[in-house]
Structure 1
Amino acid sequence: MADSVPVNGPDALDETLNRLSKKPGVKAVVILDRATGAILRTTGQLSFNAAALPSSGSFSGEGAAAQQQPPQQQQLQQQSNGEINDQQPQGLEDFAAKVWNWVNASGTLVMDLDTEDELKLLRLRTKKQELVIVPDPKYLLIVVHDTPPA
């Protein structure tokens, strides 16, 4: 019986992704590499307003976070494995880069306020959707879901 629930590895990740994507209102789940921001896995569909996601840089277009972009080699390999929706890879890459930059900036803010503290959760709610971001030392888990009516 102990073998029926995966604890670590790809099976546990797939199990978690499947469980999250079946929750009501969940539109997509994205997992990023914490160090580089590379897209590791995605499930679901994300829709973007093209004007809202310009393909250039970060907040200011400068700084270390803007210079560290996910490696193209990993992106091409993920596309060939079917892990990225072929219809929106650029929008997804822009989304991932913006979230990754935001998490890094938020982590810096927390460390500047208290060096003994750490970032545990980010939640961003808009009129259309909500992002729940759970930073891990190795990964970023991003769950995108519909905003319930108030």
Structure 2
Amino acid sequence: MSKEKGAPSGIESGQATVLIIGMIAICLLAISATLAATAVNSASRALLAVADGAVAAAADSYTLSTVGRSPARLRLSPVDVHNAASDYLADTGAGERFAALRITDATVDPDGITARLSLGATVHPPIVGWFVPSGVGITVDVRARTVLTR
């Protein structure tokens, strides 16, 4: 029995199919991981933009205090910062754009004029969402300072 030149032997037949299927699976996994990472990154950037607006609104929620002839002083309170940020989020409809949007922290620095805000949300990435059914949590931290000028 002579074998023809170039004809595959019985042991080697079908190995190219396994290799092709394996490479396709690896490519699909790489594409889905890239899509998921891009979705999380895009959502965190969008949340950062919303947080910037919310902390700017919170920094404008100051009270002006004067004592005698001393210069006027600005003061922020954590409660006012939280309430102003919450109102901003409600007014802009940010809760509809992000799943589980929440204010995780609203504080004022010891200087009394810098508002700090942390927002959290959940991202549900495409394709790999069934691997993480509860989503991927993201958090952003921002701050804004109130300054009084003439």
TM class by smaller structure: under 0.3
In terms of Rg, which structure is larger? 2
Per the normalisation by structure 2, the TM-score is 0.28
